[in-house]
Amino acid sequence: SAPLLRVENLTSEYLTTRGTVEALRGAGLEIGHGETVALVGESGSGKSTLSHALIGLLPENARITGGKILFGDTDVADWSDRQFRTLRGNRIGLIPQDPTVSLNPVRTIGHQVIEAIRAHRKMPKASAQAEAAELLDRAGIDRPQTRLQQYPHQLSGGMRQRVLIAIAIAGRPDLLIADEPTSALDATVQKKILDHLQELTAELGTSVLLVTHDLGVAADRADRIVVMNGGRIVEAGTSDEVLTNPTDAYTRRLVAAAPGLSEPSRAPAPLPADTEVLLSAKDLRREFTLPARRGEPKQTIHAVDGVSFDLLRGETLALVGESGSGKSTTAKLV
Ligand code: ATP
Ligand code: MG
* Atom 26 of ligand 1, residue of closest alpha carbon: 14
Burial class (CB in 10 A: 0-12, 13-18, 19+), 233: buried
Q: Which ligand is nearest to the CA of 63?
A: 1
- What predicted TM-score, i.e. pTM, was given to this entire model? 0.77
Residues with CB under 5 A from ligand 2 (ion): 48
- Tell me how far apart the alpha carbons of residues 185 and 162 are, in angstroms, rounded to a whole number: 12
Show me where the domains of the chain are located. Answer: 5-257, 277-333
Residues 205/210/215/217 CA torsion (nearest 10 deg): -60
Query: CA neighbours within 13 Å on the CB side: how many for 148?
Result: 19
C-alpha of residue 179 to centroid of ligand 2, in Å: 7
The CA 289 to ligand 1 mean position distance, Å, reads: 40
The identity of residue 244, as a single letter, is T
* pLDDT per residue as tens digits for the range 222-232: 999 999 999 99
DSSP-based helix, strand, coil % in the chain, nearest 5: 35, 30, 40
Pick the CATH number of 5-257 from 3.30.450.20, 3.40.50.300, 3.40.50.12780, 3.40.50.1360: 3.40.50.300
Q: Which protein residue's CA is at the shortest distance from atom 21 of ligand 1?
A: 23
| Alpha carbon separation from 6 to 11, 32, 77, 285 (Å, rounded) | 14, 9, 11, 54
C-alpha to C-alpha distance for 41 and 258, rounded to whole angstroms: 12
Q: What is the pLDDT of residue 261?
A: 66
Mutate to test the pocket of ligand 1, among 11, 12, 14, 60 (most ligand atoms within 8 A of CB): 14
pLDDT in tens, 245-298: 999 999 999 898 876 665 443 444 444 455 677 788 888 888 877 777 777 777
Q: Are 65 and 250 in contact (CB under 8 A)?
A: no
Residue 183 alpha carbon to ligand 1 centre in Å: 16
> Higher model confidence: residue 207 or residue 331?
207
